[in-house]
Amino acid sequence: MMLDDFMTRATLAGVGVAFAAAPLGCFVVWRRMAYFGDATAHAAILGVALSLALQMSIFAGAVLVALLMALTVTYLAGRGYAMDTLLGVMAHSALAFGLVAVSFLSGVRIDLMAYLFGDILSVSRMDLVVIWGGAALVVGLILWRWAALLTATLNEELAYASGLDPRREQLVLTVALAITVAVAIKVVGVLLIAAMLIIPAAAARGLARTPEAMAAIAAGIGALSAVAGLRAAYVFDTPAGPSIVCVAALLFAGLNLAGWRSARGA
């Protein structure tokens, strides 16, 4: 069967993560939440250690800890702490504690590099179910609250005037971010998840005239990065996760260069 081919499974996994990350990545870019996404992703390694220690699903542990991290940062930021400092402390502390916790797991064989940089070539059919299920959940959440999220992102006062609670919309984004981090661990690893959130959305920004178009274009760029990155990894024998991010970065640079030349020629 088609899914018996590891490259086919890897491609489907990469595209699934791209579809989950694209609309969420747009809000990360609009709200300037790049470091927030990074902190949430770094916390996921602690979730991996927790999952292995308790013999539970990696997905469940990563979602739980990523969500706790995001909620903690949101709560503390609302109490007067400087957001950039708080995120720096929380992100690196969570990653360090996670790595230390993994070292204490006796009798558990773990390929730490696979969780840090992804191991997309070992994706199983069950992993595909989790990835695409998570992607569907994220896209569903974003579509459900799309108008409210846009209003809260544009202007909090306008959101209040429209009867919306910006804190609730932030919670929706936080939940979606935690799920995306959990499904992306297998594909690009915790150190590169933020890149897949930000780079396709940033690349799409100059091509789109509407928020909806930006999300759709970002999904296309993310999916193209996954397919081309996997092909490059196969041809040049390079790590798959980092190769996907490299292709996304090259697309970002190319599109921006093309836009700059077009603006100079106009």
Residues 154/147, Cβ–Cβ less than 8 Å: no
d(CA 72, CA 69): 5
- pLDDT over 90 at 224, yes or no: yes
The C-alpha torsion from 183 through 125 and 50 to 168, rounded to 10°, is 30
Residues 44/187, Cβ–Cβ less than 8 Å: no
pLDDT score, position 232: 94
How many CB atoms sit inside 10 A of residue 53's CB?
14
Amino acid present at 117: F
d(CA 119, CA 117): 7
d(CA 197, CA 202): 9
- Give pTM, 2 decimals: 0.89
- pLDDT over 80 at 248, yes or no: yes
SS3 113: helix
- pLDDT over 80 at 129, yes or no: yes
Domain positions in the chain:
2-265
Amino acid present at 174: T
pLDDT score, position 151: 93
What DSSP string describes 193-213?
A: HHHHHHHHHHHHHTT-SSHHH
Average pLDDT, the chain: 87
d(CA 245, CA 142): 24
d(CA 202, CA 124): 31
- pLDDT over 80 at 75, yes or no: no
| Mean pLDDT across 82-101 | 82
pLDDT in tens, 140-153: 999 999 999 999 98
pLDDT bucket at 41, cuts 50 / 70 / 90: confident
- pLDDT over 90 at 15, yes or no: yes
pLDDT score, position 74: 73
CATH hierarchy code of domain 2-265: 1.10.3470.10
